[in-house]
Chain A
Amino acid sequence: MTARLLCYILVMAGVTYLVRMLPLMVFRRKIKSRFAQSFLYYVPYAVLGAMTIPAVFYATGHTISAAVGLAAAFVLAFFGRSLIVVALTASGAAFIAELFIV
């Protein structure tokens, strides 16, 4: 492992820990600002949306199998299936597409 990679990992772990730890140690009161509360509430959905599309179309090496996997995930997620079920079905659908279509 190179020094640069170790440096990346240290920064990742350090920042992630501080973000979790500081509020728990320092603040004892709730955030009052409605804007800040709303912003933080929406952050996870914004991150996940931005990271999923378009990156997912390059995840399998073939756009078609990725699209099939993504479509399967959307349908199951829409009907409220659990994380594991959605994740594994997306993989299964993409695999079948890889076998037959690509």
Chain B
Amino acid sequence: MSQDKSRGFLGGIKDSIPIALGYLSVSFGFGIMAVSNGLSVFAAVLISMTNLTSAGQVAGLTVIASNGGIIEMAIAQLVINLRYSLMSLSLSQKLDGGFTKLSRLAVSFGITDEIFAVASGKPEEVSKQYMAGLISLPWVGWATGTLIGGAAGEVLPEKLKAALGIAIYGMFVAIFVPAARKALGVLVVVIIAVAASCIMRYVPLFDGISEGFAIIICTILAAAAGALFFPIKTEEGGGGQ
């Protein structure tokens, strides 16, 4: 039955094609960004293969480029990627009976915003084969895009490279602008975060704060304000507006 196919490995692969294509183009931007910050192509690909997350990797790159502390790196990753905990939590209710401890350990590596979104959108419980398919192709796309971007970063003309470096910010905009348009709470959170980030950058008083910590502070400030003044509805399923 086609129903069974759509729930297996190939079904996961099929559902992941749009994600993989998106990752391929966006991680291209990350590769360029990493190389222009002085990292080798190998290091850039290694980061993508072991992290699989855009915001965390860009923040990590910021910490590396500014020669920040290891603790700073750990806290930045913790705060920025904390949302994955919520997704993991939510996804844990959706895994079918075929999951062993080992397959849970493996699947948790591949939880990203997009993969989580697709998995939670499935009407039925998801199998470990399906999740394996859903994660593999985007992972390959993410690593390959970084490789091509990093390698191209060394040969592309300066103007083109500069223009492609903005791609990853384009993706960020594509995530927060539509959400801010739909929900006032998100709009306010984004405005607070942007305002705080500009203040940290331009007000001399905050010169001593490294860029990594600045992102952490802005995030906590804005998300806490959002939670305080625009608490989300907490029906079944959490998250969502």
Chain A residues within 8 Å of B, Cβ to Cβ: 1, 5, 7-9, 11-13, 15-17, 19-25, 27-28, 30-31, 34-56, 59-62, 65-66, 69-70, 73-74, 76-78, 80-92, 94-95, 98-99
Additional 18 contacts, C-beta under 8 A, given A16-B81, A23-B85: A8-B63, A16-B56, A24-B108, A31-B89, A40-B86, A42-B227, A43-B79, A45-B179, A45-B180, A50-B219, A50-B222, A52-B169, A54-B201, A56-B166, A60-B166, A66-B166, A73-B170, A95-B162
A87 contacts B170, CB within 8 Å? yes
Can you report 10 residue pairs joining A to B where beta carbons are below 8 Å apart?
A11-B70, A12-B60, A41-B240, A43-B80, A47-B59, A50-B215, A53-B197, A82-B18, A82-B174, A94-B163
B189 contacts A22, CB within 8 Å? no
**Interface of chain B, main secondary structure:** helix
A24 contacts B86, CB within 8 Å? no
Question: Which residue of A54, A84, A99 has the most chain B CB atoms within 10 A of its CB atom?
Answer: A84
B170 contacts A24, CB within 8 Å? no
Residue of A1, A42, A56, A92 touching B186 (CB-CB under 8 A): A42
A46 to B202, CA, bound (A): 19
Q: Does B91 contact A (CB under 8 A)?
A: yes
Q: Known contacts being A16-B51, A48-B172, is A39 close to B223, with CB within 8 Å?
A: yes
Q: How many A-B residue pairs have CB under 8 A?
A: 316
Q: Known contacts being A17-B108, A41-B239, A88-B25, is A46 close to B189, with CB within 8 Å?
A: yes
A91 contacts B86, CB within 8 Å? no
A81 to B185, CA, bound (A): 22
B108 contacts A20, CB within 8 Å? yes
- B239: shortest Cβ distance to chain A, in Å? 6
- B170: shortest Cβ distance to chain A, in Å? 3
B175 contacts A46, CB within 8 Å? no
Q: Which chain A residues border B29 with CB–CB below 8 Å?
A: 87, 91
